[in-house]
Structure 1
């Protein structure tokens, strides 16, 4: 097991090297400049779209804008925001947060382009249903000769979508917060029971398909973000005197790397810190990875630019808001320097320190909501990948493999799980970013047309009169 752990660790480190960081961040910066900072100039319009102001029930697709973003967020607003941020701070100190922010700002541009493409170049599966995602915008946008990239993405997605990290950290949280303080013996048996319970809950939802998944997470995501925000707000109020100091350290330590304890990049600690922050940021918001394109590609819209504008809100909510809340709670309580805990246990220490008696249980509730919602969405991503590879009529096979993997995640080590998913996330980013950079000018052409129409006359998506009559009949 130790040898396997070492092999997976080396694999993750190899694929998360400088070339991939250049592709993700350099590519994202190129997209940001190409768009002339469009994601930031149209935030108001994005929010209007999210509120359903322009929804048309007759547009092609399966779910509305809000459900698409909720489905995408339910996979990104997960353990990466709680455990992943804790890992980043334990290894990199306050400076890692700055590079998380950079990944989010750049990621907003990346998400705009990738998810616009997901609707612009939708394809059909073997059952004739309209589908969207990286694999489809590669084959439909670049042509069949590029199919090898689409297959590469889908194969990597089969592993990258597995829930092992989320399950692993939820199991650790239950052990650390609930079982250990109550003197309940911990080990393989208790982990197995936790995994079995999660398997049952997940099976009930995911076997119902995308509609049941989207309906569930559209209710769960807003509630869990609100609860987490309220909990962290209490911690910040309790430790308000420490807040200015650490806000300053986030910026100064980002370039000094005084608290970085990981491997240097080309002999430099700052380079290693940048890699750490961007790696954890990519795991958190998945910008450039391509998973969210499978949710946004199913949105009911005939305007690709609209879905890109909605999707770009994801990194802002996920990383700039939720990850920052986690980071500040860990920093201001000082547990990142006084505790040997890592992952979710470090965040739990921060909650316990500032909110006695109930802090641990508030965090456990948030962790459960974050993890379980992620389980629902990632199963959908995996079935989409398998559908592309071997046909839509066989996509349900993935759910059985997925359910079995929940048990694996509950009974294996953190380092192995985080390196495994990190590695395959990195592989998914390669075809996603290559195809997006090639097709980006097509998105800008479409965006110019859309915003000209929107500026001259606000674009509406209301049903035609005859459609209304048909529906009433």
Structure 2
């Protein structure tokens, strides 16, 4: 187990080395400059599209703009915002949060391009159904000779789109709080915090929680994207509201410390003083930057390609509109939710407790910030965040298998998917995080490269769209 874990750690560290950081962040900067900051200048129009003002029920696709955004937020606004931020702080220090912000700022432009392409170059699967996503816009936009790149994306997506991180962290907080608090484990959880094994084998509590999650998620994912979209559009706004209100309470109670910790994030971003390791390139500072970008990419998924798969199912004939909706996600996910989590962890001092990590660190912050009910509010949020993320990721993975093996075999992915939920529940956080991180990096390679090559076509469509909008062609819709 330890050897396999070290293999995954080494794989993730090299996958997220300097070349990947340059590709992901550098690519986002290129999109931002190439678009002349268009995503920021049309933020309001993106909200108008999201509100349904330009809805066309006769357009091809399966879900509306709001459901597409909700489905992707169900995947991005999740454990990456709660435990992912804690991991970034724990191993990278406060400066890692700054680099998470950078991924969001440039990620808005990246998502505009990838989500626009997901509609511009939708393809058809073996059953003749319209599909969208990087694998399809690579083939449809760049041509059949680029299919190996699309296949590489899909192969990485089979593992990268598993919900092991979500099931691992949900199991951890249930084990370390609810079960441990009531003495139902039969052993001291603190003595076994760093291992998924006891002397008698895997923890019985982890096995039970894993099986319960398998049953719950199965009820939804076998219903397809329409059911996922319906469930997500109801749960996502609720979970964001509850979580934000809870964190706002902690921040307000410590509001005098806000400038201090904001400056700590910014100043440490170029020092890496609190980083707990060293990257293959760049020492402690490089390690901190790598951790911030990795956690930011895991949180908002800009440039990874998952967002394009969900938005490719939207009902619309206007690719630019889906790009405008997609660009909203990093602002909501990372700039808002992740920043608030970071402030709660910093203000309560939970990030300095070396005995806790991941979701348990966040639980400590909530217990400290709201002693009476903080932990229970977090439990509710964690449950909804992680489960809705699990709902959405199954759709991503099945689309990857659909592309590789055909529509008649796509449903087989769901069986592998629910098995991975169980595996994530009983294994260590280091194995899960590094395996998924590494596969996310592999998915980003074909996504960003193909998007850079197709960027001129996106800008051509953008100019055409806004010229028609200026002429008032959409006013009667």
Q: Deviations over 1:106-138 (max 9, x none)?
A: 000000000100000000011111100000000
Deviation at 1:404, TM superposition (A): 1.1
Deviation at 1:266, TM superposition (A): 3.5
Query: Mind listing any 5+ residue stretches in structure 2 that lack a counterpart?
Result: 187-201
Residue in 2 aligned with 1:470? Answer: none
Residue in 1 aligned with 2:467? Answer: 452
Residue in 1 aligned with 2:219? Answer: 204
Q: Deviations over 1:238-283 (max 9, x none)?
A: 2222222101111111112221222145344322221111111001
Are 1:221 and 2:223 counterparts? Answer: no
* Contact 1:56-1:461 at 8 Å conserved across structures: no
* Contact 2:13-2:279 at 8 Å conserved across structures: no
Residue in 2 aligned with 1:253? Answer: 268
SS in 2 for 1:60: coil
* Contact 1:228-1:363 at 8 Å conserved across structures: yes
Residue in 2 aligned with 1:325? Answer: 340
* Contact 1:32-1:109 at 8 Å conserved across structures: yes
Distance 1:267 1:440, change over 3 A: closer
Residue in 2 aligned with 1:143? Answer: 143
Q: TM-score, normalised by structure 2?
A: 0.95
Q: How many residues align?
A: 462
RMSD value over aligned CA atoms?
Answer: 1.1
Are 1:284 and 2:299 counterparts? Answer: yes
Question: Is 312-321 or 332-341 further displaced after alignment?
Answer: 332-341
Residue in 1 aligned with 2:83? Answer: 83
Residue in 2 aligned with 1:153? Answer: 153
Aligned counterpart for 2:246 among listed residues 224, 231, 234: 231
Are 1:437 and 2:470 counterparts? Answer: no
Residue in 2 aligned with 1:129? Answer: 129
- Partner Cα separation in structure 1 for residue 161 and residue 279 of structure 2: 29
* Contact 2:279-2:290 at 8 Å conserved across structures: no
Residue in 2 aligned with 1:188? Answer: 203
- What is the correspondence of 1:401-412 to structure 2 with a 5 Å cutoff? 401-412=416-427
- Partner Cα separation in structure 2 for residue 338 and residue 152 of structure 1: 40
* Contact 2:14-2:280 at 8 Å conserved across structures: no
Q: TM-score, normalised by structure 1?
A: 0.96
Query: Mind listing any 5+ residue stretches in structure 1 that lack a counterpart?
Result: 463-473
Residue in 2 aligned with 1:357? Answer: 372
Are 1:263 and 2:246 counterparts? Answer: no
Residue in 2 aligned with 1:366? Answer: 381
SS in 1 for 2:393: helix
Distance 1:36 1:171, change over 3 A: same
* Contact 1:165-1:418 at 8 Å conserved across structures: yes
Deviation at 1:222, TM superposition (A): 0.5
Residue in 2 aligned with 1:243? Answer: 258
Q: Deviations over 1:388-423 (max 9, x none)?
A: 011111111000111111111110000000001001
- What is the correspondence of 1:358-437 to structure 2 with a 5 Å cutoff? 358-437=373-452
